[in-house]
Chain A
């Protein structure tokens, strides 16, 4: 028996999808896109220049968005990237009360809104981030992070559904 190939887009394994021969064969037709998805992941979650949003905060927000989408295994994967005892870990759980920090509070509200109801986002939501100390580059970084994780969650859900019919 040959050992199973891992997924190029590691988030698929992290979400609990089995790399069966059937699913790997379908994904192999889009190998380059899987590899680019992983590159985008690294740029959003573990960038070289994290700007004003720390790596722990990025992992915590990603985990939170996965929890909001009932992708708990993937949420745990992201939470596992946060060093033990780091207060950012609290942000991963949407059930927990928002912290007192206005900056974090604003960041969490924005993340929840854009994840769950993107169509309801309005100009004042961006002004609110600015009022809470986010500079332009950090607003764009936060937007890419939220948008990318929402992309990933749907790739995971779609591939899992496809696995069910192969």
Chain B
């Protein structure tokens, strides 16, 4: 019996796939290549093993994901995480929200911002810049999309450079993708899956 977590948390849950992951020892050459692993690797996560069912996409997706999250020279690491959290909250992807909320807290050594966005939709304890980032990412992620020139202008007025804005667009969009895998193909649970 699966008991998925339904409330936002900064404690990273376990993830139980709703479909059978690829079995590493019987993975094809293409699948191993896309996962960048060998059959003797241990510790390949269930999520990667699920995505290995579509190796062509996984192969392009992994460097794109890492590039958006970790590239230098644009939006700071912690603000990138804040964008990821905003989209994950809008899409109610408990797992992604937890992972990126906890990274945000580690990077900033604070907890107030995450507590605020998890519990309070007025974001009162956020600075203008944090609020501009959070609101833009949320509105860009919404359906129908409700981001307008007002939110774009708020970013500029809060001091974001063009390259930082591009990075924010990319991370919010990326989590529109990631949430639609993580939240659709599995459940966040609070104990390790007994079958694993």
- Interface residue? A159 (CB, 8 A): yes
* Main SS at interface, chain A: helix
Known: A140-B19, A157-B145, A164-B149. A29 touches B185 (CB 8 A): no
Is A139 a contact partner of B67 (Cβ separation < 8 A)? no
Task: Tell me if B73 is interfacial: C-beta within 8 Å of chain A.
Answer: yes
A123→B183 contact, CB < 8 A: no
B140 contacts chain A at the CB level, 8 A cutoff: yes
A143 and B180 contact, Cβ closer than 8 Å, known pairs A117-B143, A158-B173: yes
Complex CA gap A69/B141 in Å reads 11
Known A29-B74, A30-B74, A136-B53; contact A158-B140, beta-carbon cutoff 8 A: yes
Q: How many whole Å from A108's CB to the nearest CB in chain B?
A: 16
Contacts of B67 in A (CB 8 A): 30, 32-33, 36
| Candidates A49, A126, A144, A166; contact of B162 at CB < 8 Å | A166
Q: How distant is the Cα of A151 from the Cα of B144 in the complex, in angstroms?
A: 14
B contact residues around A114 at 8 Å (CB)? 180, 184
B63 to chain A, nearest CB (A): 6
Establish whether residues A158 and B169, one from each chain, have CB atoms under 8 Å apart when the complex forms.
yes
The binding surface of chain B is classed by DSSP as helix
Q: Is there a chain B Cβ closer than 8 Å to A150's Cβ?
A: yes
Minimum CB–CB distance from A102 to chain B (whole Å) comes to: 20
Interface Cβ pair total, 8 Å cutoff? 162
Known A36-B67, A140-B51; contact A150-B169, beta-carbon cutoff 8 A: no
A161 pairs with B18, CB closer than 8 A? no
Residue on B nearest A151 in the bound complex, by CB: B177
How many B residues face the partner with a CB closer than 8 A?
Answer: 56
Q: A27-B166, A36-B63, A39-B60 are in contact. Are A150 and B177 (CB under 8 A)?
A: yes
- Interface residue tally on A, bucketed by range: 35 or more
- A51 and B140 alpha carbons, distance in the complex (Å): 32
Q: A33: which of B145, B170, B187 is its contact (CB, 8 Å)? A: B170
Give min CB distance, A145 to chain B, whole Å.
Answer: 8
| Alpha-carbon separation in the docked complex, A150 to B93 (Å) | 15
Give the docked Cα–Cα distance between A39 and B153 (Å): 32
Q: A165 touching B156 by the CB < 8 A rule? A: yes
Q: Interface of A with B (CB < 8 Å)?
A: 26-27, 29-30, 32-33, 36-37, 39-40, 42-44, 47-49, 51, 68-70, 114-119, 121, 123, 125-126, 136-137, 139-141, 143-144, 146-148, 150-155, 157-159, 161-162, 164-166
7 extra A-B contacts, CB within 8 A, seeds A40-B57, A119-B91, A140-B54: A43-B56, A114-B180, A115-B143, A118-B179, A147-B178, A147-B181, A148-B57
